């Protein structure tokens, strides 16, 4: 086993301290009884209570969740199809344009995406609301799904698909019974990524939402624009908690799966 | 024919919701502001037939672009965005490289955990992570309280609502975007290459510069673009952490659109930003494709 | 390398010598281009039913392309491929009675061994009990009964190879394609598996086409070998004839070890000729059946094991030459002597080590006589 050098240990410690201290501070202050967020006045869960009585926040959370569910599912279907076409589809007319359009939203500033989509919706007379946010989120989440799925497809042994064809599958059968089950971890993480991005997005949602649909980030933003707010601290702590539990659980599950696999492979070789 | 359908579905979606919107933005950037709904003129009126089209075409001009060059606010905002984006990309690289390097050198059984620790903030709300610095950097915030109590400073520092806070916020939120591609490149690095270099007479430091850094080039490029390009159009960080003198083009565009309701000017601001970013975006996509091809 | 003894039934089975026999597979003037690159160049070839046919050649010679055209993954640019008299060009891979065993095995990692073998049968919509029966049969044939429930990553490399074989045989194809099937196995396992493959081929009576770059493997398993180079078939023949009667310098050189001496030809009798290859040596007397004009430059090919090394000049051999031992390669069962002849040419001669090491006859720098019979070598013009 390799021993870690002091330099590397310091880099990691400082790096992770930098990444985690701000979130930790936020969580701690969310239990502060004082309305002045930064002045500690004892432990309290008061702001959590206030948060759950705030109908506007709850409504926004519900809208956000629905938008995220629909848009990430749509993005997963479209993004997986796009990745498959790019990796396996060979040459076709407009391929460069296609991959350009697909990957550009990865880095395109949100303000440009949001503005352009809004102007589209207005010029075709589409009323802004949940539907328009879903369309917008699907478009940019699709790029992230495509990237994740592409990297899995590239590493995928093509002869597996050929073997399926050889054994009597049509192309679609081969995709459904061999390719999809094998790339499914990537498809799932693509979906999760799309889901999170949609939950998280402020700028595009601000452009494309209408008065009928306000998302949680829009609410948070208008609350914190001018200063810190204890209710938002509580909300942040809850969101951080959900993500932490989710990420730790999935990584534990996948770690166990990997360990099991390594053990089995060792057994098979002996 | 299934293949054609498979291609057509995402292709049409992207054409309708990515390419066409840009053409609309380009068109509106050539229009004039008007007190109407939508608030610009001319609008294409196809019911008037050919005359409608010619009126529409002659109604377009480059007035907004000329306006952008005459008002110093705009080009100052572009330059300041460029400066902030370049500097913060370099800072993120300087902070991220040692982390990615240390992760790639860590023992195998630690790596998944370390990777998870880098990814975790990435899944946490961007908005909340930016917001968390407000409580830390404020006059009466956590950092000042800490420094005052240790006695390093006697007066609270003013960090929030300055460019320093903006830099901190950018490095903080974009760090995972830098670390992940760097780690992916460094992890692939074969240890025996470094041993070979040392065997051939390199010092460790020299081996690092001659072997490790060049071989992580693709990671450096990918990470830098992933930070630089979105930061150029960043809106949330300068709005929440920056001050009134923090000038960034994303903020200008937002205000032009939502506060001034000047859609044509907002559109031309977006078009110029896009023109600035098109080269880095193309380079980024090329770099990604090269990476995939090398893995096939 | 000596020819291995073959079973009588296999010796008799030689449909390629029967002009009435109908081939199972016919390549008719097949050309395959990838852009500008010509992978297969106007190739015509027949393969008969129940044959174990080997495509042998260096990497990039086109053998894999031929196999992929048979499987249906590539389409010939020109020409036609017939299976049982019917063109199969344009028939998709899933509709061909042809199955393939992939070089990487391509076992589906998410399915158990049992489900991997059942995969093709399920596509045929066979009744459940029929599938079960067939899978069990295949597991028995490949001695995998105990491993049906395991996943591919839970078994060893040799077992994976057998699963791949069982899976491709399960649908009882008319033709089984094997792409470097033993490439991933270590030497010992490979040799065992070669005989196992032959056994299974005989039991099932399936036509096998194997792609390999390993000449020993091709010699061991195949009834006929097609030696390929640059998209062309150079020679198609039984292993013994490919080894003993190569039709060209390329084949002689590719299969086994060979000495090639270049010289000028002169006819000395109806089936006799001689080759002058050096000013200092008498010409080589050779038997031949080809018409070669006098004065033509030819290659004289002779296998090392056909040359005898002796201290005295032997009187009973038609050809002899004198030289100095430069190097000895000791391989256990045989030793290869690298002998430099008076004219400077290096010749390899292989001698069986019938005595123990300490009583070896020759050593470095020894001057020796090399001798061989008139019929030992071959005059090649290509």
Looking at the predicted structure, is the pLDDT value of residue C159 above 80?
yes
Tell me whether chains C and B touch (3+ CB pairs under 8 A). Answer: no
Lowest mean pLDDT across B198-207, C133-142, C152-161, C166-175: B198-207
Say yes or no: B95 contacts chain A, CB-CB below 8 A: yes
> How sure is the predictor about C380, in pLDDT bands with cuts at 50, 70 and 90?
confident
Same domain (yes/no): B30, B86: no
Residues A240 and A248: beta-carbon distance below 8 Å: no
Are residues B145 and B33 part of one domain? no
**Distance (Å) of CA C47 to CA C27, C51, C179:** 9, 7, 17
Tell me if C87 sits within 8 A of C80, measured CB to CB. yes
- CA angle at B155 for the pair B149 and B159, rounded to the nearest 5°: 100
Q: Give the rounded percent of residues in chain C with a pLDDT score beyond 70.
A: 95
Q: Same domain, yes or no, for B52 and B84?
A: no
This complex has an ipTM of 0.85
Tokens of C157: 């490399």
Contact call for residues A147 and B226 (beta carbons, < 8 A): no
What is the Cα–Cα distance from C2 to C219, expressed in whole angstroms?
Answer: 10
Instruction: Give yes or no for B103 touching A (CB within 8 A).
Output: yes
What are φ and ψ of residue C289, in 5° steps?
Answer: -120, 5
Q: Which residues contact C259 (CB under 8 A, 6 or more apart)?
A: C301, C302, C303, C304, C307, C347, C348
Crossing angle of helices B249-258 and B72-105, in 10° steps, is 130
Q: Is pLDDT larger for residue C271 or for residue C109?
A: C109
DSSP 8-state symbol, C359: G
Any A CB within 8 A of B117 CB: yes
Q: Are residues B84 and B39 in the same domain?
A: no
Interface-testing mutation among A166, A177, A184, A265, with chain C (most C C-beta atoms within 10 A): A166
Chain C neighbors of A162, CB-CB under 8 A:
71, 73, 93, 100, 102, 106
C94 touches chain A (CB under 8 A): yes
| Min distance C88 CA to chain A CA atoms (Å) | 14
pLDDT at C217 over 80: yes
Ranges A108-117, A245-254, C48-57, C94-103: which has the least confidence: A245-254
C-alpha–C-alpha distance, residues B238 and B64, integer Å: 25
Q: How far is CA C120 from the centre of its chain?
A: 30
Look at strands B40-41 and C78-83 and give their pairing: unpaired
A212 within a domain of the structure (yes/no): yes
Residue A247 belongs to a domain: no
pLDDT of residue C2: 44
Q: Which are the contacts of A221, defined by CB distance < 8 A and separation ≥ 6?
A: A202, A206, B127, B236
Interface membership of C73 toward A (CB under 8 Å) = yes
* Residues near B237 by beta carbon (within 8 Å), at least 6 away in sequence: B130, B166, B169, B170, B173
- Report the percent of chain C where pLDDT is more than 90: 41
The two tokens of residue B183 are 């780690």
- Using the beta-carbon criterion (under 8 Å), do B105 and A5 form an inter-chain contact? yes
Residue written as token pair 């002796």: C310
Average pLDDT value for residue range B105-110: 84
Give the domain CATH number at A183: 1.10.3720.10
Q: How far apart are the first and last CA of chain A?
A: 22
Q: Are C286 and C318 in contact, with CB atoms under 8 Å apart?
A: no
Which parts of chain C fold into alpha helices (H)? 8-12, 63-71, 113-123, 128-141, 157-169, 187-204, 215-221, 239-244, 249-254
C123 touches chain A (CB under 8 A): yes
A89-102 confidence digits (pLDDT tens):
777 888 888 888 88
Q: Is residue C380 within 8 Å of residue C246, measured between CB atoms? A: yes
Domain co-membership, B144 together with B119: yes
Q: What is the pLDDT of residues B119-164, one digit of tens each?
A: 888 888 889 999 999 888 888 888 888 888 888 888 888 888 899 9
Number of Cβ pairs < 8 A linking chain A and chain B: 252
Q: Which of C56-60, C194-198, C229-233, C360-364 has the weakest average pLDDT?
A: C360-364
Write out chain C residues lying below 8 Å of A160, CB-based: 106, 108
The angle that helices B217-232 and B163-187 make with each other, rounded to 10 degrees, is 150
pLDDT at C274: 86
What residues does CATH 2.40.50.140 cover in chain C? Answer: 257-380
Task: Tell the burial category of A89 from Cβ atoms under 10 Å away from its Cβ (0-12, 13-18, 19+).
Answer: middle
What pLDDT, on a 0 to 100 scale, did the predictor assign at position B44? 66
Element (DSSP H or E) covering residue B198: helix B191-199
Q: Does the pLDDT value for residue C5 go beyond 70? A: no
Residue A126: give the domain boundaries: 57-236
CA angle B155, B161, B166 (to 5 degrees): 115
Please indicate, yes or no, if residue A265 is contained in any of the structural domains.
no
Q: Count CB atoms within 10 A of the CB of residue C71.
A: 22
Axis-axis angle for helices C128-141, C113-123 (nearest 10):
130
- B128 inside 8 A of chain A by CB: yes
Nearest to A269 among C100, C156, C168 (CB): C156
State whether A220 and B127 contact (CB < 8 Å): yes
Domain assignment of residue B16, yes or no: no
Domain boundary among B8, B40, B61: B61
State whether residue B62 sits within 8 Å of chain A by CB. no
Instruction: List pLDDT tens digits, range A21-52.
Output: 999 988 988 888 887 777 778 888 888 888 88
State the DSSP H helix or E strand holding residue B13, giving kind and residue range, or none if neither.
helix B2-14
Asked if C45 and C27 count as a contact pair (C-beta separation under 8 A), the reply is yes
Q: How far apart are CA B258 and CA A218, in angstroms?
A: 14
The full length of chain B comes to: 296
Instruction: Give the H or E element holding residue B144.
Output: helix B142-150
Task: Give A165's contacts (C-beta < 8 A, 6+ positions apart).
Answer: A171, A174, C72, C73, C92, C93, C94
Strands C52-56 and C367-372: unpaired
Question: Which pLDDT score, from 0 to 100, does residue C211 have?
Answer: 94
Q: Which of C34-58 are b and which e, b meaning 16 or more Cβ less than 10 Å from the residue's Cβ?
A: eeeebbbeebebbbbbebbbbbbbe
pLDDT at residue C166 greater than cutoff 90: yes
Listed in sequence order, the residues at least 6 apart from A241 whose beta carbon sits closer than 8 Å to its beta carbon are: A27
pLDDT at B58 over 90: no
Q: Tell me how far CA of residue C280 lies from CA of A250, B9, C276, C308, in angstroms.
A: 81, 79, 10, 20
Chain A neighbors of C153, CB-CB under 8 A = 261, 264-265, 268
| Mutation for testing the B interface, residue in A115, A208, A215 having most B CBs under 10 Å | A115
Cis peptide before A201 (omega within 30 of 0): no
Are B169 and B209 found together in one domain?
A: yes
Does residue A33 lie within any of the structural domains? no
Q: Please give the pLDDT value at position C112.
A: 93
Q: What is the pLDDT of residue C1?
A: 41
Q: What's the pLDDT at A1?
A: 39
Q: Are residues B259 and B237 in the same domain?
A: yes
Residues β-bridged to residue C177? C100, C209
Residues B51 and B134 in one domain: no
C316-371 tens-digit pLDDT: 888 888 889 998 888 888 888 999 988 888 899 988 887 766 556 788 888 888 88
Helix, strand or coil, per DSSP, at residue C134? helix
pLDDT value of residue C12: 60
Of B236, B230, B241, nearest to B277 by C-alpha is B230
Q: Residue B191 phi/psi, 5° resolution?
A: -55, -35
Q: Residue C8 — very low, low, confident or very high, per pLDDT cuts 50/70/90?
A: very low
Q: Which domain holds residue B131?
A: 73-295
* pLDDT the model gives residue A167: 92
Specify whether the CB–CB gap between B59 and B138 falls below 8 A: no
Mean pLDDT of chain C: 87
Bridge partners for B259 per DSSP: none
Q: Write out the CATH class of domain C257-380.
A: mainly beta
What single-letter DSSP state applies at residue A84? Answer: H
With beta carbons less than 8 A apart as the criterion, state whether C167 and A167 touch: yes
Please confirm whether the linkage preceding B38 is cis (ω < 30° from 0).
yes
- What does the alpha-carbon distance between residue B122 and residue B80 come to, in Å, rounded to a whole number? 27
Check pLDDT > 80 for residue B292.
no
Whether the predicted pLDDT of A79 surpasses 70: yes
Q: How many domains does chain A contain in total?
A: 1
Q: Which residues of A touch B185 (CB under 8 A)?
A: none
Residue C136 pLDDT level (bands cut at 50, 70, 90): very high
Does the CB of B116 have a partner CB in chain A at under 8 Å?
Answer: yes
A–C contact (≥3 CB pairs within 8 Å)?
Answer: yes
Question: Does the residue A100 lie in any domain?
Answer: yes
pLDDT at C10 over 80: no
CATH code, domain with B275: 1.10.3720.10
Region at C62 (left for phi over 0; alpha for psi -120 to 50; beta for the rest): left
- Looking at the structure of chain B, the number of domains it has is 2
Q: Are C320 and C314 in contact (CB under 8 A)?
A: yes
Q: Would you state the pLDDT for residue C78?
A: 93
Query: Rounded mean pLDDT of C139-160?
Result: 90
CATH class assigned to C15-253: alpha beta
Residues 6+ apart with CB under 8 A from C169: C99, C138, C141, C176, C200, C204, C206
Enumerate the H helices of chain A as residue ranges: 6-29, 46-53, 55-88, 95-103, 110-123, 130-154, 158-166, 171-174, 180-200, 203-208, 216-224, 230-269
User: Lowest-pLDDT range, A89-93, B14-18, C310-314?
Assistant: A89-93
A263 lies in a domain? no
- pLDDT tier at B296 (50, 70, 90 boundaries)? low
Q: Is A199 within a domain?
A: yes
Residue B66 lies in a domain: no
Res B27: pLDDT: 86
Q: Which residues contact C377 (CB under 8 A, 6 or more apart)?
A: C284, C286, C300, C301, C302, C306
Higher pLDDT, B289 or A100: A100
Angle between helix axes A130-154 and B263-295 (nearest 10 degrees) is: 20
- CA distance linking residue A81 with residue B10, whole number of Å: 7
In a domain, A30, yes or no: no
Q: What is the pLDDT of residue A226?
A: 73
Calpha distance B97→A195 (Å, rounded): 29
CA C154 to chain centre: 33
């Amino acid at each position: 086993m390799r021993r870690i050098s002091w330099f590397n240990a310091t880099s990691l410690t400082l790096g992770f301290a930098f990444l985690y201290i701000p979130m930790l501070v936020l969580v701690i202050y969310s239990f502060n009884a004082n309305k002045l967020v930064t002045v500690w006045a004892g432990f309290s869960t008061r702001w959590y209570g206030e948060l759950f009585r705030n109908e506007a926040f709850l409504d926004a959370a519900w809208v956000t969740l629905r938008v995220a569910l629909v848009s990430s599912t749509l993005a997963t279907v479209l993004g997986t199809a796009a990745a498959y076409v790019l990796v396996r589809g060979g040459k076709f007319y407009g391929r460069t344009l296609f991959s350009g359009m697909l990957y550009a939203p990865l880095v395109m500033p949100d303000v440009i995406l949001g503005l352009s989509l809004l102007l589209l919706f207005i010029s075709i007379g589409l009323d802004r609301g949940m539907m328009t946010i879903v369309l917008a989120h699907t478009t940019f989440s699709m790029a992230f799904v495509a990237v994740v799925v592409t990297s899995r497809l590239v590493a995928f042994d093509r002869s597996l698909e050929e073997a399926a064809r050889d054994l009597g599958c049509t192309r679609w059968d081969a995709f459904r019974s061999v390719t999809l089950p094998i790339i499914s971890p990537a498809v799932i993480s693509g979906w999760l990524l799309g889901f999170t991005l949609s939950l998280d997005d402020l700028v595009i949602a601000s452009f494309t939402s209408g008065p009928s649909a306000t998302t949680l980030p829009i609410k948070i933003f208008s609350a914190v624009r001018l200063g810190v707010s204890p209710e938002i601290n509580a909300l942040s702590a809850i969101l951080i908690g959900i993500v932490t539990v989710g990420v730790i659980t999935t990584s534990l599950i996948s770690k166990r799966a990997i360990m099991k696999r390594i053990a089995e492979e060792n057994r098979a070789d002996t | 024919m299934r293949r054609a359908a498979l291609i057509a579905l995402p292709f049409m979606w992207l054409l309708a919701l990515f390419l066409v919107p840009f053409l609309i933005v380009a068109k509106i950037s050539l229009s004039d502001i008007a007190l109407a709904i939508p608030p610009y003129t001319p609008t294409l009126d196809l019911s008037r037939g050919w005359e409608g089209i010619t009126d529409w075409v002659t109604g377009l001009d480059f007035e907004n672009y000329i306006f952008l060059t005459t008002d110093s606010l705009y080009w100052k905002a572009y330059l300041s965005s460029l400066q902030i984006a370049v500097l913060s990309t370099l800072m993120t690289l300087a902070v991220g490289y040692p982390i990615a390097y240390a992760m790639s050198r860590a023992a195998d059984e630690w790596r998944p955990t370390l990777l998870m620790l880098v990814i975790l903030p990435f899944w946490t709300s961007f908005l909340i992570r930016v917001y968390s610095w407000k409580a830390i950097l404020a006059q009466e915030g956590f950092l000042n309280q800490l420094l005052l109590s240790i006695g390093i400073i006697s007066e609270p520092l003013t960090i929030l609502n300055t460019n320093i806070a903006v830099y901190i916020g950018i490095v903080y939120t974009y760090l995972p975007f830098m670390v992940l591609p760097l780690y992916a490149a460094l992890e692939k690095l074969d240890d025996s290459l470094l041993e070979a270099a040392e065997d051939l007479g390199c010092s460790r430091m020299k081996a690092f510069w001659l072997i490790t850094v060049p071989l992580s080039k693709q990671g450096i490029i990918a990470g830098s673009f992933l930070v630089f390009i979105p930061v150029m159009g960043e809106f949330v960080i300068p709005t929440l952490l920056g001050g009134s003198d923090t000038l960034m083009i994303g903020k200008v565009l937002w205000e032009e659109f939502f506060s001034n309701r000047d859609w044509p000017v907002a559109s031309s601001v977006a078009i110029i930003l896009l023109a600035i970013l098109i080269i880095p975006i193309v380079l980024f996509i090329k770099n990604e494709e090269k990476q995939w091809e090398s893995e096939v | 390398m000596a020819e291995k003894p073959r079973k009588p039934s296999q010796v008799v089975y030689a449909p390629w010598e029967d002009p009435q026999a109908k081939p199972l597979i016919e390549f008719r003037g097949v050309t395959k281009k990838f852009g500008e690159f010509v992978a297969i160049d106007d190739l015509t070839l027949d393969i008969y039913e129940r044959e174990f046919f080997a495509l042998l050649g260096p990497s990039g010679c086109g053998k894999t392309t031929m196999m992929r055209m048979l499987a249906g993954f590539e389409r010939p640019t020109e020409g036609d491929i017939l299976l049982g008299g019917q063109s199969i060009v344009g028939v998709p891979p899933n509709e061909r009675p042809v199955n393939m065993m992939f070089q990487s095995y391509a076992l589906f990692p998410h399915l158990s061994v049992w489900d991997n073998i059942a995969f093709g049968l399920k596509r045929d919509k066979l009744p459940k009990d029929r599938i079960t029966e067939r899978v069990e049969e295949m597991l028995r044939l490949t001695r995998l009964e105990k491993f049906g429930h395991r996943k591919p990553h839970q078994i060893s490399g040799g077992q994976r190879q057998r699963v791949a074989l069982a899976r491709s045989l399960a649908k009882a194809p008319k033709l089984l394609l094997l792409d470097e099937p033993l490439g991933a196995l270590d030497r010992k396992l490979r040799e065992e598996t070669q005989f196992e493959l032959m056994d299974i081929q005989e039991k099932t009576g399936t036509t096998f086409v194997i792609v390999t770059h390993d000449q020993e493997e091709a010699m061991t398993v195949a009834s006929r070998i097609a030696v390929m180079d640059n998209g062309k078939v150079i020679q198609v023949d039984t292993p013994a004839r490919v080894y003993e009667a190569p039709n060209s310098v390329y084949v002689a050189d590719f299969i086994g070890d060979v000495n090639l001496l270049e010289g000028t030809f002169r006819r000395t009798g109806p089936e006799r000729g001689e080759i002058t290859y050096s000013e200092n040596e008498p010409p080589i007397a050779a038997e031949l059946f080809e018409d070669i004009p006098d004065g033509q430059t030819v290659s004289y090919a002779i296998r090392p094991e056909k040359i005898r090394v002796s201290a005295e000049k032997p009187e009973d051999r038609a050809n002899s030459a004198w030289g100095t031992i430069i190097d000895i390669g000791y391989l256990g069962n045989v030793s290869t002597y690298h002998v430099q002849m008076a004219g400077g040419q290096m010749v390899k001669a292989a001698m069986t080590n019938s005595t123990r090491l300490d009583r070896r006859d020759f050593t470095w720098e020894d001057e020796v006589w090399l001798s061989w019979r008139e019929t030992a070598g071959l005059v090649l013009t290509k």
